[in-house]
Amino acid sequence: MEKQYWLISGASQGIGAAVVEELSKNAANVVIGFGRNAQKIQDLSMRLKNSPAQLDLFQADIVQDLDKIAEKIAKLPYLSVLINNAAAFLHKPFLETSPKDWQELFATNVFASVALIQKSLAQLGKNPKKAQVLNITSMGGFQGSVKFAGLSAYSASKACLANITECLAAEYSTSNIAFNSLALGAVQTEMLSQAFPDYKAPINPTEIAEFIVQFAEKNGQLFNGKILPVSSSTP
Ligand SMILES: NC(=O)c1ccc[n+]([C@@H]2O[C@H](COP(=O)([O-])OP(=O)(O)OC[C@H]3O[C@@H](n4cnc5c(N)ncnc54)[C@H](OP(=O)(O)O)[C@@H]3O)[C@@H](O)[C@H]2O)c1
């Protein structure tokens, strides 16, 4: 059985945890996942401990613990897919946002995601087949989509990561690595509840996780440098 080696950031809850759960069903998968909340990471590990996949879920902050994460990456024979899923969120009127707010959002959603891609490239390059970086972005950062008050910093950070996806696809066009971005619409998670407290999303984390894994496993090979809107609702 040919192994698939996955790295996912933000695995402690929401969409990231659901992706880990989906990946855990397949014995071919080796999954490295992390998040800051040690308890939630431990709970997920316990819940999935009898799954056929090999899971290494650990506590780490993508901003502060990059060396720890890089050590885990280096121990793999290669990487098949990096899913850049971890994200910070802010809902605040534009005029009230501080430089610190913008710095913190971009530190996680852009700078740390960029650093994680840099730390993963050599291992992705060793994949005997096509490897992929999948950046999870948002309809809020998708050009021409409906925008919402209070989400300027968050949406801008997601637009930035989407743009980086396109740039890297061009820069690595002769490599075995594809770079794509899934611009998600509303999915019922804690982040969505912060953004739209009274709104009920038509999609739950399990449903979107199935799509993300299927995209990465199969359809991802057909795309490179693409930002795909994955949404059935507004928001
Ligand atoms: N839900 C939606 O409607 C929606 C729509 C569009 C796009 N998205 C995108 O989908 C992705 C997942 O969002 P979600 O809805 O599942 O949100 P969520 O429930 O808030 O989960 C976010 C995840 O990111 C992790 N994270 C945040 N900062 C981190 C850091 N510094 N280091 C490591 N992990 C960190 C969190 O874990 P810890 O707190 O334990 O660190 C958590 O596991 C995000 O990229 C988000 O922008 C979501």
For residue 218, the model assigns a pLDDT of: 87
Q: What's the CA gap between 102 and 94, in Å, rounded? A: 10
Mutate which of 7, 9, 13 for ligand 1? The one with the most ligand atoms within 8 Å of its CB, which is 13
Is the whole model's pTM more than 0.85, yes or no? yes
Q: What is the pLDDT of residue 221?
A: 76
The domain covering 4-230 belongs, at the CATH homologous superfamily level, to NAD(P)-binding Rossmann-like Domain (3.40.50.720)
Q: How far away, in angstroms, is 16 Cα from ligand 1 center? A: 7
Give the tens place of pLDDT for each residue, 8-29.
999 999 999 999 999 999 999 9
Tens-digit pLDDT profile for residues 57-115: 999 999 999 999 999 999 999 999 999 999 999 999 999 999 999 999 999 999 999 99
| pLDDT of the residue at 205 | 98
Closest CA to 78 of 5, 178, 176: 5
Asked whether the predicted pLDDT for residue 172 surpasses 80, the reply is yes
Amino acid (1-letter code) at residue 159: A
- Pick from 184, 192, 199, 231 the residue to mutate for probing ligand 1's pocket: most ligand atoms within 8 Å of its CB: 184
SS (H, E, C) 32-76: EEEECCHHHHHHHHHHCCCCCCEEEEEECCCCCCHHHHHHHHHHC
Residue ranges covered by each domain of the chain? 4-230
Is the Cβ atom of 36 under 6 angstroms away from ligand 1? Answer: yes
Whether ligand 1 lies within 6 angstroms of the CB of 113 is answered as no
What pLDDT was estimated at residue 32? Answer: 98
pLDDT at residue 188, rounded to an integer = 97
Say if residues 61 and 104 touch (Cβ distance below 8 Å): no
**Pocket lining: 189 vs ligand 1, CB cutoff 6 Å:** yes
